[in-house]
Structure 1
Amino acid sequence: MNYARFWFIELLAYWEGKINTLPIQHQFGLSRQTSSNLLKQYRTENPGNLEYGTHDKAYVAKPDFKPQYIDQSVDEYFDWLTSRTFPSSPETPFGITQLKPPRRYVSPLITRKLIPAMREKQRLEIDYLSITSNDPEGRIISPHSLVKTATRWHVRAWCEKRQRFLDFVLSRFKGEPQVEGPAVYGEAHDEDWNTWVDIIVAPDSRLSAGQKQVIESDYGMQNGHLTLTVRGPLVKYTIDDLQIKTKMIELRPEAQQLICLNFDEIENWLY
């Protein structure tokens, strides 16, 4: 029974840097005393992980924190933020195997400042690596939304250096962010983010009628096509995740499978 509760304690302590009784009470519907006893029990069984911080009035993750219940992937933490669900046991359900692509490492030092900054609408100074520079560049950003694609997480944020909203890959942030005060620009100012775009996809026209029916069934298409409505900056990620080729069509339609019917309407969002 304590597996899920200890998992939750570790999850918040590791990714947020600290934990007290309040989130445990809310997550599991427990009393303050029972939540306090759980924290004490966790510390007894894992003596090197948490210490009480009088300034924070919470148990703080020690520098040599060694998780016993979480897998230390940022996906695990963000999935909980999204769904508020948690595992009941460490066992994998019988007969289920899940492919796990290589993880992009995200430091907990990033999330411990990034998530509060998003909640409290704060600016952050942070170092960022890009494919156009060999050295980290200092940026001041105002983050407003997290986005998960098939292979990575990024944050949508106002960039003071570039003077526009950009997508920043979380694994490319380095060091520990510093809070720089209230944000001036937020989600409401991000016109592209607040623009919704229709992507109309259909089976490759070169497929046979029978093959098209298979693809239509796969995606629950109606009248031979499927319309996906996404935020403007997410158009490219959606096309990529669906493996729709836009620059070079596959020679074999079985390899292409899907095409975009309204490419001219979405092209500006791709490049």
Structure 2
Amino acid sequence: MKETASFAWDTWARYHVIELLAYWEGRVTASALREAFHLGKDRAQQVLRVYREEVAVDNLVYDTSRKAWMPTPQFTPYFIRGHVDEYLHLLGTHDALNPQFVGLGLGAANTESVPMPIRDVSPEVVRAVVSAARERQRLEVLYASFSSPRGEDRIIAPHTLVYAAGRWHVRAYCEKNAAFRDFVLSRFRGVPEAIGDALPAAAQANDEDWENRLILEIIPDRRLSDAERELIAQDYAMEEHMLAITCRCALAQYVLREYGINHRHVEGDPRAQQVDLGNREALRQWLY
């Protein structure tokens, strides 16, 4: 295969997406390429054919039951680094590619950003979670937590992959708790195993904290002077000293974390705190 840098930019980008989907989701379809690049059906199929036959002949094999191209055991990435941040960028740019994903999307694009630490998330875990969410299946997982640092067996039924507060989570129904919970993907041990269809109770429509939304009223810290509060209001484009953010109830804690608001702790120096939650009491039930 010729050097990847020698490909035209649009060709390189398409092969990049093919490898990202194969590596992180475990499947690639022509419809995904059509969605990502607004290609016609024939053109999308041609891109896949050229990649398979001329670029990376041992990377993909067709699964007739799933009607998708799957990575082979010999899969070798040429157009990706294998870092989870690449996959996050793809989903954040192309919302329709994976309906089982949601990011907070709080800020506008910047010319420069501070790099965040890359959490260790295995592609095998992501593939299993995305597949289970898509197919509405149960997963048997070994999950580590502060109460069980070495891991505890759980049976979950995921419905949405979430990137928030610098970490990957999955929103899932937990059969142990008989309730919906957030699970951090870097705390999964081993590869989750699909064990059949999800229970009726695990349907996303039953996740009330996910389906319902609330409004966070972000305000300048009341301890600041009038001039300082006005400055903060301008920094955050507030209207009448308040920024209203609508979000899913289940994601409220993550949005607040992005704004440096901790409902259990307030900085002693208001200039360090800067902003606060104005309707804290009304939302207390969603602040864990």
Paired residues, what number? 261
Out of 149, 161, 164, the residue aligned to residue 146 of structure 1 is 161
CA distance in 2, matches of 1:83, 1:215: 30
Q: Which residue of 2 aligns with 1:7?
A: 16
What amino acid is the match of 1:14? Y
Q: Which residue of 2 aligns with 1:204?
A: 221
**Where do 1:94-243 residues align within 5 Å?**
96-183=111-198, 184=200, 185-243=202-260
Q: 1:82 to 1:98 in 2, by over 3 A?
A: closer
Q: Deviations over 1:191-245 (max 9, x none)?
A: 2223333322211122222221221112221111122232222222222221124
Q: CA deviation at 1:22?
A: 4.4
The answer as to whether partners of 2:169 and 2:185 remain within 8 angstroms in 1 is yes
CA distance in 2, matches of 1:58, 1:233: 33
Q: Which residue of 2 aligns with 1:19?
A: 28
Contiguous gaps of at least 5 residues in structure 2? 1-9, 96-109
Question: What's the TM-score once normalised by structure 2's chain length?
Answer: 0.79
The answer as to whether partners of 1:6 and 1:42 remain within 8 angstroms in 2 is no
Q: 1:196 to 1:53 in 2, by over 3 A?
A: closer
Question: What's the TM-score once normalised by structure 1's chain length?
Answer: 0.83
The answer as to whether partners of 1:245 and 1:256 remain within 8 angstroms in 2 is no
Q: 1:121 to 1:181 in 2, by over 3 A?
A: same
Pick which of 57-66 and 113-122 moved more. Answer: 57-66
Q: CA deviation at 1:130?
A: 1.4
**Where do 1:27-106 residues align within 5 Å?**
27-28=36-37, 29-32=39-42, 35-36=45-46, 38-41=48-51, 44-46=54-56, 50-53=59-62, 59-63=69-73, 65-84=75-94, 96-106=111-121
Q: Which residue of 2 aligns with 1:267?
A: 284
The answer as to whether partners of 1:143 and 1:186 remain within 8 angstroms in 2 is no
Residue 80 of structure 1 aligns to a residue in which SS? helix
Q: Name the % identity.
A: 38
Aligned-pair Cα RMSD in Å? 2.7
CA distance in 2, matches of 1:2, 1:121: 34
Contiguous gaps of at least 5 residues in structure 1? 86-94
Residue 193 of structure 1 aligns to a residue in which SS? helix
What amino acid is the match of 1:18? R
Q: CA deviation at 1:76?
A: 3.0
Residue 239 of structure 1 aligns to a residue in which SS? helix
Residue 192 of structure 1 aligns to a residue in which SS? helix
CA distance in 2, matches of 1:8, 1:125: 29
Q: 1:53 to 1:104 in 2, by over 3 A?
A: same
Q: 1:224 to 1:124 in 2, by over 3 A?
A: same
